[in-house]
Each structure stands twice: as structure tokens, then as C-alpha cells.
Amino acid sequence: MAENRVHQHDHDDQTELLPCVEDLYGGVSVNMEKPMDSTVFAPLLQASISQWREKGKKGIWIKLPIEHANLVDVAVKQGFRYHHAEPDYLMLVFWIPETTDTLPANASHRVGIGAFVMNSQREVLVVQENSGKFKGTNVWKFPTGVVDEGEDICTAAIREVKEETGIETEFVEVLAFRQSHKSFFSKSDLFFVCMLRPHSFDIQKQDREIEAAKWMPIKDYAAQPFIRGHDNFNYIAKICIAKSEVEGYASFSPLSTKTTSGKTSYLYFNGDLKNQLSCDNQKQKMPM
């Protein structure tokens, strides 16, 4: 097959094209898995674009593994722009039609969690961090962290608490979330305040990120000048206190569901309704 293509190339330059697959949106995707000299790539790409244009193709995607960084400049010079990058590859895209592109947007948000973990003595699990903006401030804060790529929010909250403090927990609810912008580069941030129920109580702090960790009366946590002096921290403390005191503070529980493409996802919604719907489902599934 490869020989055949080389053969065609000898006789007719226009028939040699980059290998590609068509997508459902009238576009094509090129995955450059093998190395190629940029002087070979340039005419091949040019011929391919001509052919795609003739065929009425719209969005052209080229995924370049980082080993083939030598081809980036060639693609850019032929009209491609960057779409997104991960550590090991760069995705470029070229919209052929004259119309406005309908290409999917790049990922725009990083997702973080804060963990509200309270024991039966109304003490919350708090840490002091040894780097970042809280370093040296003596502020006691909830364990927080970034949700890993592909990780569920409820899983990330349990993982972060375990990593930072050694405490085993069970996920209960999302009490609140905050959206903020330009939190790193031009990207936005979604931060979920998660309530977890502790299943162990002896703290074993992680040394790399955590200076100190302890159980602290929730009133003392909320009374810290830093917490009181900062809008978001202050509200979140009030929400947690309300949740711990007031029956009526309804929040969102996760329910494992399937997406239309059959993948598992979590739907977070009012916990009372979740229990009711789960009950209904159980009844439907019970043998007659």
C-alpha cells in the first residue's frame, strides 16, 4: 500500500495525499504518527488541502505528536491555526469554507474542589499549605485540589483529602460551586465545595504540600480574620455552618448515569429528589 502510494507519487504529484479519516461534521482528521521531513510534508499538505477544498470539506484537523514539532511551522504557513495542545501533542485546525467556523471550542475551565469534612464534635479538617499564596499566612483552610483529567469531582474530593491528611472519607454532597475567570493564563476556574463524611480520624499529613493539618472547631475556622475578610471564604464558611445546623440546606448529590453515547457520567442534583428517584428505579427493577 505504501509502495503503491510512492509509485503514484512518481507519476502524478497531485494524487499523493496525507492519510486522513473523515468525521461526522464534513471535516477530516490527519494523524501524523510517523516522522516526516518538513520538505516532504509541505507539498503533500498543499496537495491535500486542494483536494479537500474540491471535495467541499470544512474543518481539517492535524494532530502532531511533539516528536514531529518540525512540521508545526509548515502547517501554520499553509493557514492552520492552533486548536489545543497537551504535553505530548499539538492539534492544529484549518477551516476551509468562507463561512464562520463551527469548530468545537477548546477546553476553557480548570476544575477544583474544596473539602468540608466535619467530625461528630463539630470540628472540621483543616490544613496549612507550605507553598502558593497561603504559604506563611497561618491560615487554616479546607483541603483543596485540582480535579485530574478524566476524574470525577466526587472521586477527586476523596483523593485530595486522603493525600493531604490521610483521612478516609465518603462523598456526601456538593454544597456550592464558584466560577471565576482569568484564574490562570486566560482560563477560567470552577471550584466545587464538597461535603465528605470522615471514616477515619487520625491525621497523617503529607509533607510535600502540607505544613500542618488538624481538626478545628468549625466556629474557630469561620472566625479566622482571613476567612471573615474574604467574600468567597466567608460565604463558603456560612454555607458549611448552615449545612451542619439547618435541616433545610438542600444540596446536590451525585447519581451515576449513562450519557447518550453510553459512557458513565455523574449527574448532581437535589439530594432529596435523588433519593426519591433512586427509590422509584429500585421498585421498577424489583422482580414482580
Active site residues: 163
Biggest CA-to-CA distance, the chain: 83
109 makes contact with a second copy (CB under 8 A) = yes
Question: CB of 67: closest distance to a second copy in angstroms?
Answer: 8
In the list 22, 23, 33, 73, the residue contacting a second copy (rule: CB under 8 A) is: 73
In the list 22, 273, 275, 279, the residue contacting a second copy (rule: CB under 8 A) is: 273
Task: Report the 10 Å Cβ neighbour count for 127.
Answer: 25
204 makes contact with a second copy (CB under 8 A) = no
Q: Which stretch binds a second copy (CB under 8 A): 40-48, 49-57, 104-112, 194-202?
A: 104-112
Question: How many CA atoms lie within 13 Å of 190's alpha carbon, on the beta-carbon side?
Answer: 10
| Near a second copy in 121-160, by CB under 8 A | 131-133, 146-150, 152-153
Grid coordinates 421498585 are at which residue? 283
In the list 107, 120, 199, 282, the residue contacting a second copy (rule: CB under 8 A) is: 107
For residue 73 the three cell numbers come to: 511551522
70 makes contact with a second copy (CB under 8 A) = yes
In the list 5, 187, 197, 219, the residue contacting a second copy (rule: CB under 8 A) is: 187
Question: CB of 22: closest distance to a second copy in angstroms?
Answer: 16
DSSP 141: B
Q: Is 99 exposed, middle or buried (0-12, 13-18, 19+ CB in 10 A)?
A: exposed
| Pairwise CA distance, residues 250 & 259, whole Å | 25
β-strands 28-31, 59-65 pairing: parallel
The count of chain residues that interact with a second copy, using the rule CB under 8 A, is 85
275 makes contact with a second copy (CB under 8 A) = no
| Pairwise CA distance, residues 210 & 44, whole Å | 53
| Near a second copy in 7-46, by CB under 8 A | 24-25
Give CA 55 to chain center in angstroms.
36
In the list 1, 2, 105, 288, the residue contacting a second copy (rule: CB under 8 A) is: 105
In the list 21, 40, 69, 212, the residue contacting a second copy (rule: CB under 8 A) is: 69
Grid coordinates 503514484 are at which residue? 8
In the list 14, 257, 275, 279, the residue contacting a second copy (rule: CB under 8 A) is: 257
Residues shown for the chain: 288
Q: Which stretch binds a second copy (CB under 8 A): 14-22, 197-205, 213-221, 242-250?
A: 242-250
| Pairwise CA distance, residues 49 & 169, whole Å | 54
Question: CB of 118: closest distance to a second copy in angstroms?
Answer: 17
| Near a second copy in 208-227, by CB under 8 A | none
β-strands 252-258, 187-198 pairing: unpaired
